[in-house]
């Protein structure tokens, strides 16, 4: 005969209002990802446009022409990459979801993994920003020549990394994982 008094199902299952652990529910991750991806699109365009203007000013000061047609040099690759970055907002229907996906699979998972420090968010946002922007600028630079592709890769990576740093700061400021992970509420009321 079995003794059911000590092994009832209610004694093994947690209460209905708990999830069985002290892990907090992380909020504002989707909002942070969406706003960071919008900021990435806008940031790449602004940073690319400002850097393009700065490079044209430098080329003018030193008496060099930066816009020779069909010139396959590193300098034309840098200018091509900056022009593509400056026009990033035109393809926002592609760039915003791509940034949302890349950020969601990298920094969007960090709060659930209980990572509360700021530096991993900024580092990985900068890495993915550089990868996304330099990948597209490299492909368009490769259409012309290898030196142009290398110049476009370098300028795209710098613009993407700078925009990624801003996106990492924005995501961290919106989600605030350090506060959410520190304040575990175990009250029952």
Q: Judge whether 5 lies within some domain.
A: no
Determine the angle formed by the axes of helices 29-61 and 92-105, rounding to 10 degrees: 120
Q: Judge whether 128 lies within some domain.
A: yes
pLDDT at 18: 45
- Find the mean pLDDT for residues 39-55: 95
Q: Judge whether 56 lies within some domain.
A: yes
Maximal CA-CA distance, the chain: 99
For 25-61, b/e burial (b = at least 16 CB within 10 A) is: eeeebeebbbbbbbbbbbbbbbbbbebbeebeeeeee
- Candidate ranges 63-72, 155-164, 180-189; pick with highest mean pLDDT: 155-164
Q: Judge whether 2 lies within some domain.
A: no
Q: Judge whether 14 lies within some domain.
A: no
More confident residue, 183 or 154: 154
Q: Judge whether 13 lies within some domain.
A: no
- Find the mean pLDDT for residues 46-56: 95
Q: Judge whether 1 lies within some domain.
A: no
Lowest mean pLDDT among 12-16, 142-146, 176-180: 12-16
Asked if pLDDT for residue 183 goes beyond 90, the answer is no
Q: How many helices (H) and strands (E) does the chain have?
A: 7, 0
Domain count, the chain: 1
Residue 143 CA to residue 170 CA, distance in Å, equals: 35
For the segment 125-163, what is each residue's pLDDT rounded down to a tens digit?
Answer: 999 999 999 999 999 999 989 999 999 999 999 999 999
Structural domain of 169: 27-64+71-181
Q: Judge whether 78 lies within some domain.
A: yes
């Amino acid at each position: 005969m079995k003794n059911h008094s000590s092994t009832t199902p209610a004694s093994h299952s947690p209460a209905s209002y708990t999830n069985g652990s002290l892990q907090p529910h992380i909020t504002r991750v989707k909002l942070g990802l969406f706003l960071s991806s919008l900021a990435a699109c806008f940031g790449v365009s602004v940073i690319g446009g400002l850097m393009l203007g700065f490079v044209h000013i430098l080329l003018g000061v030193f008496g060099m022409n930066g816009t020779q047609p069909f010139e396959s040099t590193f300098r034309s690759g840098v200018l091509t990459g900056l022009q593509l970055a400056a026009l990033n907002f035109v393809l926002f229907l592609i760039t915003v979801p791509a940034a949302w996906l890349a950020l969601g699979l990298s920094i969007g998972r960090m709060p659930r993994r209980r990572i509360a420090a700021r530096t991993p968010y900024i580092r990985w946002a900068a890495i993915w920003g550089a990868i996304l922007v330099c990948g597209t600028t490299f492909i368009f630079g490769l259409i012309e020549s290898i030196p142009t592709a290398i110049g476009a890769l370098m300028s795209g990576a710098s613009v993407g990394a700078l925009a990624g740093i801003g996106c990492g700061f924005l995501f961290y400021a919106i989600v605030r994982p350090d506060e959410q992970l520190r304040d575990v509420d175990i009250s029952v009321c």
